[in-house]
């Protein structure tokens, strides 16, 4: 039997959509689960973009295709709305779709006591735990490029370029490009502090290192896809392309720039 795993948020619209979806799937002979099984062939996330990112995290960045049904607001990751379930099931059964490989980020935090790795789909943000300026030394492939002062640094994937990165003034990047984007958050550019004021686009195989410049700044907040992690006694942080990928199921007529224009312009 073919098995599909469903993950939903707790909104009334999402729960109702989930109930309708389960009934339609069972009528077509599919088995349905709320957890990943050995034979799960597809994951369906119901909610908004936040729910999609939570699904990825809850299932530990699964190597299984995911499709999202939008019951939230923007729905940039979503491939269909609740009223498109019948059409989607027909498309899925007839294999009229393709799989989009999504680059993820790997952020490793090195403290005096341990090293911790955090994966993310959209971005990783490094900022001070308190509401004050952070001072970081930035290296690319171990070569220092700048001493940065400002609210923080954001590193995004191409798919994440349309999220927080876009709001912070970064560029929208086509996911067909395998790159990383480093965007400053409220950079200081004065006679005392000189920081770059626009985003930097780097090849995907480059490694970015961030080192706190001052001892009193060794408590830093890492925000990965909106989830906060606090670390003390940080010595340095390394960010690079992850070996993990997300497999997004897309309808054959999907095109990135059409979606970007629809959602942002």
Closest CA to 207 of 156, 139, 159, 158: 139
Euclidean distance between CA atoms 153 and 141, whole angstroms = 17
Closest CA to 210 of 189, 168, 240: 240
Catalytic residue among 12, 49, 81, 243: 49
- How many helices (H) and strands (E) are present in the chain, helices listed first? 5, 16
Euclidean distance between the first and final Cα of the chain, in Å? Answer: 43
Closest CA to 168 of 241, 223, 232, 210: 223
Q: Provide DSSP, 4-37.
A: EEEEE-S-HHHHHHHHHHHHHHHHTT-EEESS--
Is 81 among the residues known to form the active site?
A: no
Would you name the residues annotated as active-site residues? 49
């Amino acid at each position: 039997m073919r098995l599909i795993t469903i993950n939903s948020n707790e909104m009334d619209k999402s729960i109702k959509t989930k109930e309708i979806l389960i009934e339609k799937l069972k009528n077509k002979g599919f088995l349905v689960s709320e957890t990943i099984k050995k034979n799960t062939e597809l994951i369906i996330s119901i909610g908004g973009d936040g729910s999609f990112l939570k699904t990825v995290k809850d299932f530990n960045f699964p190597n299984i295709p995911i499709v999202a049904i939008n019951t939230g607001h923007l729905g940039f990751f979503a491939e269909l709305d609740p009223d498109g379930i019948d059409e989607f099931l027909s498309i899925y059964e007839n294999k009229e779709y393709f799989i989009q490989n999504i680059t993820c980020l790997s952020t490793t935090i090195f403290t005096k006591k341990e090293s911790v790795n955090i994966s993310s789909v959209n971005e990783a943000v490094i900022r001070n735990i308190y509401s004050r300026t952070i001072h970081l030394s930035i290296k690319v492939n171990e070569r220092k490029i700048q001493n940065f002062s400002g609210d923080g640094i954001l590193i995004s994937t191409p798919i994440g370029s349309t999220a927080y990165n876009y709001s912070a003034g970064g560029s929208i990047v086509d996911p067909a490009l395998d790159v990383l984007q480093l965007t400053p958050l409220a950079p200081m550019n004065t006679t005392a502090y000189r920081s770059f004021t626009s985003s930097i686009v780097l090849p995907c195989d480059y490694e970015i290192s961030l080192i706190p410049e001052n001892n009193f700044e060794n408590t830093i907040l890492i925000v990965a896809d909106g989830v906060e992690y606090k670390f003390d006694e940080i010595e340095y942080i390394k960010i690079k392309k992850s070996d993990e990928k997300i497999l997004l199921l897309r309808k054959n007529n999907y095109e990135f720039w059409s979606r970007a224009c629809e959602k942002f312009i």
